Amino acid sequence: MKIKIALLGLGNIGTGVYKVLAHCGQKLEETQGLRIEMARVLVRDTAKARAVDIPAGLLTDRIEDILIDDSIGLVVECMGGIEPARTWLLAALRAGKSVVTANKMVIATCWEELDAAARASGAGLYYEASVAGGIPVIGTFNRSLQANTISEVMGIVNGTTNAILTDMSEVGLSFERALQHAQKKGYAEPDPTLDISGKDAAFKLSILASLAFGQRVRVEDVFVEGIERITQEDVAYGKTFGLTLKLLAIGRVESGRLQVRVHPAFLPSSHPLSSVRGPFNAIYLTGDALGQAMLYGRGAGDLPTASAIVSDIVMAAQHAGRHEHPAFLAGDVSDALPLEQNWQAAYYIHLRASDTPGALSQISGVLGKHGISLATVTQTARGSCTAPIIVITHPARELDIRRARQELACLDVVHDIVNIIRVEGGDGV
Amino acid sequence: MKIKIALLGLGNIGTGVYKVLAHCGQKLEETQGLRIEMARVLVRDTAKARAVDIPAGLLTDRIEDILIDDSIGLVVECMGGIEPARTWLLAALRAGKSVVTANKMVIATCWEELDAAARASGAGLYYEASVAGGIPVIGTFNRSLQANTISEVMGIVNGTTNAILTDMSEVGLSFERALQHAQKKGYAEPDPTLDISGKDAAFKLSILASLAFGQRVRVEDVFVEGIERITQEDVAYGKTFGLTLKLLAIGRVESGRLQVRVHPAFLPSSHPLSSVRGPFNAIYLTGDALGQAMLYGRGAGDLPTASAIVSDIVMAAQHAGRHEHPAFLAGDVSDALPLEQNWQAAYYIHLRASDTPGALSQISGVLGKHGISLATVTQTARGSCTAPIIVITHPARELDIRRARQELACLDVVHDIVNIIRVEGGDGV
């Protein structure tokens, strides 16, 4: 079997794909009986110096060269962003060319029209690399968990924030220093907003939750909170309680309703996600037959991402003429779960309060009034006029916490509400 | 699409498959467009009371009823053991029926003839459930890592021993008490020999390593050491060094040679496999493109195993007429790596020695003579005439350790060599 492909984009990921294909081509012929021929590489500037040695005839700056070439059966998109990726992928799919993409944004936001174009022409649409880089999480949902109804997906899907939080926890760096360190090591972009705001994770969760729960979950359905307000102090306090701070992307079914969100949260150190350090990613899931499972690995980087892309190319080639498409994209799923935002979690509440005997009772009074019961309370630094108080609550509703927060802020004895952070995974893992 | 299947065996796993199929049948029709019809269930005694309600007409005690029924396209084997499984599976494959099996023994030992029968008739042979229960590790190797050359696979693939070691480490139980506890909880068989000897893990490693390295690795190629001689004392000493004891199944390529083995080993507590507790399983691997990755989940149990079996049934149905077969089984792989047994690891050496000033220098002298250098030495309990000495070495060769051990045993100052245990994963994970 032979397939001619075109590569769109020759940045970090595109170059990785080119390298990995050159490296593993012979192996793929031997083990898969598949010969992948690189026919065209689309770049913005064909004259620019490249990190890889590419025959000059392959380079082009005209998408038409690829779209009108009927011998090209598959297009690998490594450009990122929505346009022109969307327009070009639609054109490729309409021309019957299968698409393999690493682009979380274009899948998360334009999935329906891309899928419809693919179904109409009989082409395939593959996007394993769009979530968690090299970790085969999409393939696992599509091809290994069919017997399961998934009740929860909990992922660390952004390596930048995980590297920052790991440095804050293990090296004791401040948020700012940890961010600088991540930029220096190449884990964070010069403008890290998309990562630290949680938005990057929300794009990935949109794709992941759609596949996990078999219904379309849109980016705008995802409640998002980033790690901008996390302090070194909070990370350190959490550690004293045996808790590790992570930015989590969560989809969870509770009482027949689906909740999807990205937020920083503490996890018990014994939770499998707690040991996911540095730029690594992991997806922890619960299925009714499988029970708990986790997939762990590198969520970014040129070669890990290329590993996922090549597996998609092989899959696309082997399924030529009979590509599969998620059932939930074909039309409205009649039994889709209603979405809800009424999160339940334990909470870590970090306050500065007057170091007076009555302060604690006023604070617990406000929490109690909103139905929030306390698991532990720690008050330190007696002697100065302000004492840090750390409260860990039993599971409480987000709305109750918000109301209690407003009331706590009005108490004279409360000088400052430093941070309120969710505590997840406390179900005795 | 519709497929009629037969189930061989209605023990724990077979009953799980029956239950899961009954439960997820409608979902599979909706999401996969696949209707799975249970046509026959082979049992030893059709009159026996069952945990599930099965129409009487489905039960049979004659394999012929299944083999001669041309409407049955697939056979799910949940009997275990080599015979009669081997004979019946060969007959089914020769009759053109695909086979899905949870049987590690029959795959590990009869793989070639089963695969040859499948190829000859065009049937499929699927065995996701044979290794690590519900964890989709076979699918991952076959369908997600094609671009990678794997340099190492390191697995916790036996839940019984992992539950025992977890109890020894976390609860402080002795080996005997931990084993009793595992038996009480149903994690260990009444006769636990196959598990604690490491042989069960060796069967699984044979399959896993064959797929990972693309060449046939036989059970008899695997060096096996069990956990019978592990003491609570060793587990506790290891902990003081930040080490966690696990029974590991390892395949590793070193200098162009493949080594495969099952043995107990300490891992740094920061290693992802260290946090795999109780009956859970995990497979940690290193690929040249992907880097490090880990798959984690339930390695046994009726429903997790059924989850894997159902995914195989779906795969088999969707690939009817074009099943895939591992290239390395088709004939001799010309570039198969030579196998070697010359393991390199750091070592934990636990001795009881005379509490005299010269003892330590004699001991380190023997180790040094065999090229074994010391990373740390701890001597405690000064005052009594015998002192426990714990040595952690730098990476050393197994053969050198064996020679040094013989010589240490002859030293007058050494009263007892309590245990020598490998330390893996020290490459700065």
| B246/B235 Cα distance (integer angstroms) | 10
Residue of B147, B270, B293 with shortest CB distance to A297: B293
Q: Look at residue A427 in the predicted model and tell me its pLDDT.
A: 52
| B374/A82 Cα distance (integer angstroms) | 57
pLDDT band (50, 70, 90) for residue B427: low
How far A307 CA lies from chain B's nearest CA (Å)? 6
Burial class of A61 by CB neighbour count within 10 A (0 to 12, 13 to 18, 19+)? exposed
Percent of all residues in chain B with a pLDDT value above 70, rounded to a whole number? 98
Classify B75 as helix, strand or coil.
strand
Which residues in chain A are closer than 8 Å to B144, comparing Cβ atoms? 128, 136, 139, 308, 311
Phi, psi for residue A290 in degrees, rounded to 5:
-70, -30
What contacts A83, CB < 8 A, 6 or more positions away?
Answer: none
| A309/A324 Cα distance (integer angstroms) | 17
CB B50 within 8 A of CB B10: yes
For residue B429, is pLDDT > 50? no
| B61/B48 Cα distance (integer angstroms) | 11
For residue B102, is pLDDT > 90? yes
Which residues in chain B are closer than 8 Å to A244, comparing Cβ atoms? none
* Predicted confidence (pLDDT) per residue in A20-57, tens digit: 999 999 999 999 999 999 999 999 999 998 889 999 89
How far B291 CA lies from chain A's nearest CA (Å)? 7
Question: Does A290 contact B134 at a Cβ distance shorter than 8 Å?
Answer: yes
Question: Does B303 contact A310 at a Cβ distance shorter than 8 Å?
Answer: no
pLDDT band (50, 70, 90) for residue B428: very low
CB A373 within 8 A of CB A291: no
Output the average pLDDT for chain A. 94
How far A146 CA lies from chain B's nearest CA (Å)? 6
Of residues B226, B235, B227, the one with CA closest to residue B173: B235
Which residues in chain B are closer than 8 Å to A32, comparing Cβ atoms? 146, 327
| A324/B93 Cα distance (integer angstroms) | 27
Residue A231 is given by DSSP the state -
Of residues A135, A77, A420, the one with CA closest to residue A276: A135
Residue A214 is given by DSSP the state T
Q: Look at residue A265 in the predicted model and tell me its pLDDT.
A: 98
Residue-wise DSSP of A106-155: HHHHHHHHHHHHHHHHT--EE-GGGSSTTS-HHHHHHHT-TTPPEEEEEE
Closest residue in B to A278 (Cα–Cα) = B429
Phi, psi for residue B366 in degrees, rounded to 5:
-60, -45
Closest residue in B to A319 (Cα–Cα) = B319
Classify B53 as helix, strand or coil.
coil
For residue B221, is pLDDT > 50? yes
Q: What is the mean pLDDT of residues A260-280?
A: 95
Of residues B71, B1, B66, the one with CA closest to residue B31: B1
Question: What does the CA dihedral A135, A139, A145, A149 come to, rounded to 10 degrees?
Answer: 90
Closest residue in B to A285 (Cα–Cα) = B297
| B150/B211 Cα distance (integer angstroms) | 10
| A311/A335 Cα distance (integer angstroms) | 32
pLDDT band (50, 70, 90) for residue B373: very high
Question: Does B290 contact A274 at a Cβ distance shorter than 8 Å?
Answer: no
Torsion sign over Cα A187, A193, A194, A199: positive
* Predicted confidence (pLDDT) per residue in A161-194, tens digit: 999 999 999 999 999 999 999 999 988 888 999 9
Q: What is the mean pLDDT of residues A371-376?
A: 95
Closest residue in B to A305 (Cα–Cα) = B290
Helices B12-32 and B302-318, packing angle to 10 deg: 50
**The residue type at B260:** V
Q: Look at residue A194 in the predicted model and tell me its pLDDT.
A: 96
Which two tokens mark B280?
């859970």
pLDDT band (50, 70, 90) for residue A332: low
Question: Does A140 contact B143 at a Cβ distance shorter than 8 Å?
Answer: no
Give the largest CA-CA distance in chain B.
Answer: 80
Which residues in chain B are closer than 8 Å to A324, comparing Cβ atoms? 318
Classify B209 as helix, strand or coil.
helix
The catalytic residue among B184, B204, B239, B369 is B204
Residue of B136, B147, B318 with shortest CB distance to A24: B147
- Which regions of A15-80 does DSSP assign to beta strands (E)? 35-42, 59-60, 74-77
Question: Does B295 contact A293 at a Cβ distance shorter than 8 Å?
Answer: yes
| B136/A295 Cα distance (integer angstroms) | 10
For residue A321, is pLDDT > 80? yes
* Predicted confidence (pLDDT) per residue in B227-254, tens digit: 999 999 999 999 999 999 999 999 999 9
CA A121 to chain centre: 30
| B123/B100 Cα distance (integer angstroms) | 11
Question: Does B311 contact A143 at a Cβ distance shorter than 8 Å?
Answer: yes
| A173/A189 Cα distance (integer angstroms) | 19
First to last CA, chain B: 47
Burial class of B174 by CB neighbour count within 10 A (0 to 12, 13 to 18, 19+)? middle
Q: Look at residue B383 in the predicted model and tell me its pLDDT.
A: 66
Q: What is the mean pLDDT of residues A115-126?
A: 98
Which residues in chain A are closer than 8 Å to B297, comparing Cβ atoms? 290-294
Classify B326 as helix, strand or coil.
coil
For residue A426, is pLDDT > 80? no
Task: List active site positions of A.
Answer: 204
| A420/A397 Cα distance (integer angstroms) | 13
Which two tokens mark A348?
């870590």
| B195/B281 Cα distance (integer angstroms) | 13
Q: What is the mean pLDDT of residues B128-149?
A: 96
More confident residue, A113 or A331: A113
Classify B255 as helix, strand or coil.
coil
Residue A386 is given by DSSP the state E
CA angle B136, B137, B139 (to 5 degrees): 70
Which residues in chain B are closer than 8 Å to A139, comparing Cβ atoms? 139-140, 143-144
Q: Look at residue B187 in the predicted model and tell me its pLDDT.
A: 85
Residue A152, sorted as left (phi over 0), alpha (psi -120 to 50) or beta, turns out to be beta
How far A368 CA lies from chain B's nearest CA (Å)? 36
Size of interface A-B (CB pairs under 8 A): 173
Around Cβ B147, how many Cβ atoms within 10 Å? 27
How far B298 CA lies from chain A's nearest CA (Å)? 7
| B201/A160 Cα distance (integer angstroms) | 37
* Predicted confidence (pLDDT) per residue in B338-372, tens digit: 999 889 999 999 999 998 888 899 999 999 999 99
Among B3, B12, B144, pick the best mutation site for testing chain A contact (most A Cβ within 10 A).
B144
More confident residue, B51 or B85: B85
Q: Look at residue B333 in the predicted model and tell me its pLDDT.
A: 65
Residue of B135, B146, B304 with shortest CB distance to A28: B146
| B147/A112 Cα distance (integer angstroms) | 29
How far B226 CA lies from chain A's nearest CA (Å)? 26
Output the average pLDDT for chain B. 94
For residue B170, is pLDDT > 60? yes
Which two tokens mark A120?
């109409």
Closest residue in A to B129 (Cα–Cα) = A144
Residue A169, sorted as left (phi over 0), alpha (psi -120 to 50) or beta, turns out to be alpha
